[in-house]
Amino acid sequence: MSLREFQQEAAHWLEANCPQSLRGSLEAVSGGGHKVPIEDDDGQRYFDAMVERGWTVPHWPRTYGGAGLSDAEHQVLRRVMSEVGAPIPLAGMGTTMIGPTLLEHGTDEQKARHLPKIASGEIRWCQGYSEPGAGSDLASLKTRADDEGDYFLINGSKIWTSGAQFADWIFCLVRTDFDAPKHEGISFLLFSMDQPGVTVKPIRLISGASPFCECFFDDVRALKEDLVGQLNRGWSIAKRLLQHERSSISGMVPQTRSVPEVARQYLTTTGNKIDDPSMRASVIDHEMGAHAFALTQKRAREENADGSTQTFATSLFKLYRSELTIRRTELIVSMMGTRGAGWEGESFADDELAETRFWLARKAGTIAGGSSEVQRNVIAKRVLSLPD
């Protein structure tokens, strides 16, 4: 089938299978797993149809629940979905982080066991990297895994584990050799969160939400078959997964009103021009930055043979996206004036309260997935080859 035929067929199929009630929604229909069910029938119907078609992970091989699309077809599908207003059916760490990592580093048996459950949204994953004493200096982690024959026994704790309260499984960095240099005694393990010895405590943020948790592991088990890569060689897999994570963060477009839309609502304009010159300059500056960033990402995808941006240069995109989002939310809240300072109560509209909370929540974006300083270190060392 030519790309043109594929495009027509995809548009036709989406017209028939994406209910009107979902069109234009910027939120994914599901994050996967059974702990947060899809609430409406339209969402469930669309989700099931997308799973059936392999379009939750369109570029994965069919054997693992994908549709086996080429990069060019995948780009076309993304474009058509956006034109039709079809939302992303499935989001989360399964499709964006552990799935792509297993495709590259998993054994055939691991791929066959885990990937189809990610593609179908049956299992939701969380990321067990950070610990109270190991964040930017991740390789200092101390959670241990001891070899018990058929399985590993895990003891220790993780922190800032996003969505752990809703996750079914975790991909986790553990120390398996305490005598080796710190980067050489780490292993990459997968295990179920639904087993005795796992305790999850949500952490409440200033925004009022609890997007992440503390996790405690007391004699928790991981199967030997769920060691990804070699024993004590998990660090290189951990770094590769971070590239997938950073690439995914840098592709995230904020799910709120655009800067020009907010400007039109809250600022005085004459014709299509914002009256206040300093606000006008800030809006133009933001829009130019956002547009230049989108074009640079597009160019990077085109330059990479596989259409991805996952290299060390991913740090550049993650850095810019997270800082741009902070500038965007600060600008929006300042354009809203006192309407942007609401916390609760009937005198504020729901979307105004959402903007205030989003502004506070997005400050964390320059820390999640590795802080901006850490990204600058990676860019200096790995992209620009500057001396240590």
Ligand X SMILES: Cc1cc2nc3c(=O)[nH]c(=O)nc-3n(C[C@H](O)[C@H](O)[C@H](O)COP(=O)(O)OP(=O)(O)OC[C@H]3O[C@@H](n4cnc5c(N)ncnc54)[C@H](O)[C@@H]3O)c2cc1C
Q: Which residues of this chain interact with ligand X, rule CB under 6 A?
A: 126-130, 135-136, 158, 160-162, 212, 364, 367-368, 370-371, 373-374, 377
Would you say 117 or 158 has its CB closer to ligand X?
158
Spatial contact of 369 and 310, defined as CB atoms under 8 Å apart: no
Would you say 67 or 189 has its CB closer to ligand X?
189
Would you say 84 or 241 has its CB closer to ligand X?
241
CB atoms within 10 A of CB 329: 23
Secondary structure (3-state) at 315: helix
In which residue are the tokens 């964006």 written?
A: 96
Task: Give least dist CB 165 to ligand X, A.
Answer: 12
Closest by alpha carbon to 370, among 326, 300, 324, 316?
A: 316
Would you say 135 or 202 has its CB closer to ligand X?
135
Would you say 32 or 370 has its CB closer to ligand X?
370
Spatial contact of 124 and 168, defined as CB atoms under 8 Å apart: yes
Q: DSSP for 208-270?
A: S---EEEEEEEEEEEEGGGEESSTTBHHHHHHHHHHHHHHHHHTPPPSS--HHHHHHHHS-EE
Instruction: Count Cα atoms within 13 angstroms, Cβ side, for 335.
Output: 33
Task: Give least dist CB 317 to ligand X, A.
Answer: 17
Task: Give least dist CB 158 to ligand X, A.
Answer: 6
CA 187 to chain centre: 23
Pairing label, strands 144-147, 273-274? unpaired
Would you say 64 or 320 has its CB closer to ligand X?
320
Catalytic hit among 245, 344, 352, 373: 245
Closest by alpha carbon to 173, among 111, 237, 117?
A: 237
How many helices and strands (H and E) does the chain possess? 12, 10
Radius of gyration of the chain (CA): 22
Task: Give least dist CB 238 to ligand X, A.
Answer: 10
In which residue are the tokens 């592991």 written?
A: 217
Task: Give least dist CB 170 to ligand X, A.
Answer: 9
In which residue are the tokens 């499709």 written?
A: 95
Would you say 45 or 327 has its CB closer to ligand X?
327
Task: Give least dist CB 161 to ligand X, A.
Answer: 5
Residue 245 annotated as catalytic:
yes
Task: Give least dist CB 93 to ligand X, A.
Answer: 7
Would you say 139 or 367 has its CB closer to ligand X?
367
β-sheet bridge partners, residue 198: 217
Residue showing the smallest CB distance to ligand X in the complex: 135
Spatial contact of 352 and 336, defined as CB atoms under 8 Å apart: yes
Q: What is the dihedral of CA 315, 317, 319, 321, to 10 degrees?
A: -150
Task: Give least dist CB 240 to ligand X, A.
Answer: 15
Rounded to whole angstroms, what are the CA distances from 321 to 167, 292, 365? Answer: 26, 11, 9
Q: How far apart are CA 151 and CA 132, in angstroms?
A: 26
Catalytic positions are: 245
